[in-house]
Structure 1
Amino acid sequence: MKRFTLAAALCISLAGCQTAYYSAMEKVGVHKREILVDRVEATKESQQESQEEFQSALERLTKLINFDEGELQSAYEQLNDDYESSLSAANDVSGNINKVEDVAEALFSEWEDELTQYSSAALKRESEKKLKQTQRQFNKLLRSMRSSEDKMQPVLSSLKDNVLYLKHNLNAQAIAAIRGEFKNLKSDIQSLIDDMNRSIADSNTFIEQMNASST
């Protein structure tokens, strides 16, 4: 019970911190719309970094299954480093997506509240139409981001399995065992990279739409 209470308090505290942050930024002329665009850009960049890390791990595994026995220990250590870097990059992606979703929810909530303040029915209808259009665009982007995020965990789990197995089995038999699973892992990483490319393209489209509508 105490753990639940602490977790709930932490969530409330974090939400409060975000609200205070948005308020502080608005006081210096930076609004939620701009923060959203910046966070989408940051997520896109973290996805690109994550792609590079997963690609590096794939290339390391490719070399490993065609190993020179004298270099096996070094190859294992490099693969382990690649896994750790991939894990860190994946965590950055997830964190950035959460930040994107948070500011979008705050923006849309504020927008909906402000609809009640219109005295002009025509302007209210136009603003409401724009709100719904932006929400549709954002929801498409968020689904794309979450889809690529979902594919990261299976790849990370597979990489970790390979690293753990090699840790205690640095020999030709171990490499043979990994070679048998390599095709599936390669396919999963390529599928993940393709998904991230789609998400990155959707991010670019969303940023362009947001910038165009603000001019």
Structure 2
Amino acid sequence: MRRSLRAALAALVLLPATVGCSSVYYDTMEKFGFEKRDILVDRVEDGREAQTDAQEEFKDALTQFRELVAFDGGELEKQYDKVSRSYDRMQREAEEVRGRIDAIEDVGEALFDEWEDELGEYQSAELRNASARQLRETQTQYAQVVRAMNRAADKMDPVLEIYQDQVLYLKHSLNARAIAGLEDERAVIEQRVNELIAEMDAAIAEANRFIDAMQA
């Protein structure tokens, strides 16, 4: 399904620029045979992948920071460059995660609004009630995955802030004494990164449950 959906997305590049509006975008995707439900699952998968990529980047950055703190001889400039590049990559991954969450929330809102409206079109009370129950269940599952992803995203900011401080400090104080001073910050950074990794693990698990439920 994802390969076909990717092909449809690629085809949208050929459409006029006016297809920037979400509602027009979703209408266009439906013409390709992809409902909002399909797009939501696809975007949750993308969000999960973004969380996984960010998780690895934050882990690598922690490794770089530990190596810098344990630095004992050699070229300080090279060690600083590694930490600085790690910070830049973390920022990019964090932006990717937030963008994926925004995309999930956009299609989620459109899907549930449409679903709610269509409940009034049923002639059968039994079918309407069954659809309403399914809607509530899906909304609950959706809320759990979005909440987990946002919690993980919120944990990124404190880590990025402390890394930014360290990079700025080292930029103007690149010497052995400055490196030694980072030891006091290592425990704080490790704690925050570990908390972030745990939240990301939880978000990835929620995404997997949601995807499985939607594809069942």
Same fold (TM over 0.5): yes
C-alpha contact 1:137 1:206 (8 A) present in aligned 2: yes
C-alpha contact 2:50 2:96 (8 A) present in aligned 1: yes
Instruction: Give unpaired runs (5+ residues) of structure 1.
Output: 1-13
Q: Give the superposition deviation at 1:62.
A: 0.5
- Confirm or deny that 1:113 pairs with 2:117: yes
Q: Give the superposition deviation at 1:179.
A: 1.0
Match of 1:175 among 179, 187, 210: 179
Match of 2:38 among 26, 34, 39: 34
Aligned ranges for residues 1-215 of structure 1 at < 5 Å?
17-212=21-216
Match of 1:6 in 2: none
4+ residue runs over 3 A deviation: none
CA distance in 2, matches of 1:28, 1:16: 17
Q: Give the superposition deviation at 1:111.
A: 0.1
Q: Give 1:18's aligned amino acid.
A: S
Q: Give 1:88's aligned amino acid.
A: R
Q: Give the superposition deviation at 1:71.
A: 2.0
**1:134-167: CA deviation from partner (whole Å, max 9, x where unpaired):** 0011111111111101100010001111111000
C-alpha contact 1:79 1:163 (8 A) present in aligned 2: yes
Task: Label 1:15 to 1:157 Cα distance change in 2 as closer, same or farther (>3 A).
Answer: farther
Match of 1:3 in 2: none
C-alpha contact 1:36 1:104 (8 A) present in aligned 2: yes
RMSD of Structure 2 on Structure 1 (CA): 1.5
CA distance in 1, matches of 2:108, 2:49: 18
Identity in percent: 46
CA distance in 2, matches of 1:16, 1:133: 31
Q: Give the superposition deviation at 1:15.
A: 10
Match of 2:13 in 1: none
> Per residue, is there more helix in 1 or in 2?
1
TM-score by length of 2: 0.90
Aligned length: 200
Residues 127-136 or 14-23, more deviating: 14-23
CA distance in 1, matches of 2:23, 2:100: 17
SS in structure 1 at match of 2:74: helix
CA distance in 2, matches of 1:106, 1:127: 17
CA distance in 2, matches of 1:22, 1:108: 13
